[in-house]
């Protein structure tokens, strides 16, 4: 194998996941599954916005904590709401894959400056479309939607007490 082909193969493997299959005669065949993510996912994964926590006990803060048992992702999303019902801050902490982190980051950006009622209309399909998530990663955007709804529910519950 020439040096140039070897270098190209190494670069491809750096972006790929390899696996071994067996053909009908039982001989092992190495395959490469290349997974390419949209630049929006990479940007929000490498430079996540609004990572952190707000005071969970504060009356103007709503906290949503959700998880996906199938993959082990856990997402905490918090909102801080002003006296007019507008979200003035939003933070997240996510333990999961790059798509889950990117979904959380996008969600927190979209929440800021909107009213609580406007934010209820944010759907996982909007987040997935923005990030160009592959079908196998749609559950990450569903977690973000669920976390938004849970944070809003927690905030509203505190307002009735």
Measured CA to CA in angstroms, residue 140 lies from 55, 64, 155 at distances of: 25, 15, 23
Catalytic residue among 54, 71, 97, 138: 71
Classify 15 as helix, strand or coil.
Answer: coil
What tokens appear for 58 in the block? Answer: 């504060």
Q: Which sign, positive or negative, has the C-alpha torsion 104, 78, 75, 52?
A: positive
Q: How far apart are CA 59 and CA 37, in angstroms?
A: 39
Q: Do the beta carbons of residue 92 and residue 53 sit within 8 Å? A: no
Give yes or no: 140 in active site: yes
Give yes or no: 97 in active site: no
| Angle (nearest 5°) at CA 43 between 41 and 48 | 95
Q: Do the beta carbons of residue 107 and residue 144 sit within 8 Å? A: yes
Catalytic residue among 81, 100, 101, 140: 140
Rg (CA), the chain: 20
Residues annotated as catalytic (active site), given as ranges: 71, 140
């Amino acid at each position: 194998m020439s040096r140039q082909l070897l270098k190209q193969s190494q670069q491809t493997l750096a972006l790929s996941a390899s696996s071994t299959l067996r053909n009908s005669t039982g001989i092992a065949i190495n395959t490469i599954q290349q997974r390419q993510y949209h630049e929006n996912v990479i940007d929000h994964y490498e430079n996540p916005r609004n990572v952190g926590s707000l005071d969970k006990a504060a009356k103007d803060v709503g906290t949503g904590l959700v998880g996906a048992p199938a993959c082990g992702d856990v997402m905490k999303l918090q909102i801080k709401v002003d006296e007019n019902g507008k979200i003035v801050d939003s933070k997240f902490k996510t333990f999961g894959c790059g798509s889950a982190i990117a979904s959380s980051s996008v969600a927190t950006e979209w929440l800021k400056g909107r009213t609580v009622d406007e934010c209820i209309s944010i759907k996982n399909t909007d987040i997935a479309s923005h990030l160009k998530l592959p079908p196998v990663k749609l559950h990450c955007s569903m977690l973000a939607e669920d976390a938004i709804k849970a944070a809003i529910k927690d905030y509203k519950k505190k307002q009735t007490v």
